[in-house]
Amino acid sequence: MSFPVDKLPHVGTTIFSVMSQLATEHKAINLGQGFPTFPVDSLLIDLVTKAMKDGHNQYAPMPGVPILRQRIAEKLMRRNGVHYDWQSEITITAGASQALFTAIGSLIQKGDEVVLFGPAYDCYAPAIALNGGVVKWVDLHYPDFSLDQTALQAAITSRTKLIILNNPHNPSGKVWKKEELDLIAKVVLENNLFIISDEVYEHIVFDGQVHYSMMEYPELRDRLMLTFSFGKTFHATGWKLGYAISPKDWMTSFRKQHQFNVFTCNSAFQYAIADYMSDLTLYDSISPMYQAKRDLLLSYMHHPLLEMIPTSGTYFQLMRFKGDSSLSDTQLAEEWVANQGVALIPTSVFYNDFSDNRVFRICFAKEDHELIAAAEKLNSLH
């Protein structure tokens, strides 16, 4: 007998798992999935060991270890100038993924409409569908991924409840402009909506650009949930730790679900990160480090048919294939992982309608020698 219910009939295994699997099979350089290959700071590893030796090996409090939530509140005040109450407005989660899933679950009911900007990271739409919500797609203009004001306004109906924003943006590497964020804030307020701002790449911004966080709009405070990822910020994606912040009443509802999703996240890592975060200058070196990696990759890429599309943030770089081919971007990615020995992510998977611009997402959070070797392999494409 086959399993009778499929609540996500259009969803298969994510492209990230598929391409990583193919990369392993073909012994290819994996520039597909978004994870660093360079080591985590040894100080942080030592702090985890210390936390375990100090006996922090049992359940942490449901919303997270107090000292870590206090450190987050301190960071929000010192770096963003905003006050969030660590006791009632900050919750530690199993990565930003769980924060997003729970945030959406705590708000969306059957028939609610949610605006997503396409292309979009892949975890939002399934969470909306599982809660009975309906996605209204607003596609960003290709190739600069700018926001179309008319399209945004046209997507809003009396059933719209939520807008989900991702800034800096995966997969495009876009850092949203202040005018675009002003417009989104205005639309949220005028239509009495909620907003989730996924800012996991907040510390990866290049070329002197500024990342404006939605938390810097005081008028949105009552209707805003933000999600962050320690995995992304501290190069430890496998630790699956992140956090959500929101006003108290939304967080109360969030925690009702969080306590049954995971109850709490692992304690030793929370203590270690809390200790590590006491140095507020940690974040200053992240953007320059990634910008040097992006520039290294760009300096080695010189294939006439592979056009690099400018990226301003995240650790992703888009690349357009300008050659003649009847293959889709996914087929090309499959061919290249086998023949060129480099795994990339085809960006059609980030679109609702699988728009195929023959554009590929490259993750450059990799060791320099891997970036150079991958560029050379891509340059040999014919």
Ligand X SMILES: Cc1ncc(COP(=O)(O)O)c(C=O)c1O
Stretch touching ligand X by CB under 6 A, among 24-32, 72-80, 107-115, 231-239: 231-239
Contact string (CB under 6 A) for ligand X, positions 30-59, x = contact: ----x-------------------------
- Does 266 interact with ligand X (rule: CB under 6 A)? no
- Does 242 interact with ligand X (rule: CB under 6 A)? yes
Instruction: Supply the minimum distance, in Å, between the C-beta of residue 168 and ligand X.
Output: 8
- Does 167 interact with ligand X (rule: CB under 6 A)? no
Q: Which is nearer to ligand X, 198 or 334 (CB)?
A: 198
The single residue among 86, 121, 243, 350 that binds ligand X, judged by CB under 6 A, is 121
The single residue among 20, 91, 166, 172 that binds ligand X, judged by CB under 6 A, is 166
Q: Which is nearer to ligand X, 162 or 340 (CB)?
A: 162
Q: Which is nearer to ligand X, 164 or 187 (CB)?
A: 164
d(CA 305, CA 382): 9
The single residue among 91, 213, 237, 264 that binds ligand X, judged by CB under 6 A, is 237
- Centre a 10 Å sphere on the Cβ of residue 123 and count the other Cβ atoms it contains: 17
Q: Is 98:261 a contact under the CB 8 Å cutoff?
A: yes
- How far does the chain reach from its first CA to its final CA, in angstroms? 48
Q: Which is nearer to ligand X, 340 or 364 (CB)?
A: 364
- Does 200 interact with ligand X (rule: CB under 6 A)? yes
Tokens 């804030």 label which residue? 185
Count Cα neighbours of 179 within 13 Å in the Cβ-side half-sphere. 4
What are the tokens at 40?
């985590």
How many residues sit close enough to ligand X to count as binding (CB under 6 A)? 14
Q: Which is nearer to ligand X, 241 or 341 (CB)?
A: 241
The single residue among 15, 22, 65, 96 that binds ligand X, judged by CB under 6 A, is 96
The single residue among 91, 160, 229, 340 that binds ligand X, judged by CB under 6 A, is 229
Q: Which is nearer to ligand X, 96 or 349 (CB)?
A: 96
- Does 213 interact with ligand X (rule: CB under 6 A)? no
Instruction: Supply the minimum distance, in Å, between the C-beta of residue 111 and ligand X.
Output: 26
Instruction: Supply the minimum distance, in Å, between the C-beta of residue 237 and ligand X.
Output: 5
Give, in order, the Cα–Cα distances in Å from 246 to each of 143, 185, 250, 335: 33, 16, 6, 44
- Does 202 interact with ligand X (rule: CB under 6 A)? no
- Does 173 interact with ligand X (rule: CB under 6 A)? no
- Does 142 interact with ligand X (rule: CB under 6 A)? no
Listed residue (319, 308, 311) closest to 343, CA to CA? 319
Tokens 């009702």 label which residue? 256
* Largest Cα–Cα separation, the chain: 61
Q: Is 255:333 a contact under the CB 8 Å cutoff?
A: no
- Does 95 interact with ligand X (rule: CB under 6 A)? yes
Q: Is 197:219 a contact under the CB 8 Å cutoff?
A: no
Stretch touching ligand X by CB under 6 A, among 58-66, 137-145, 224-232, 261-269: 224-232
Which residue's C-beta sits nearest to ligand X? 95
Contact residues for ligand X, defined by CB under 6 A: 34, 95-97, 121, 166, 170, 198, 200, 229, 231-232, 237, 242
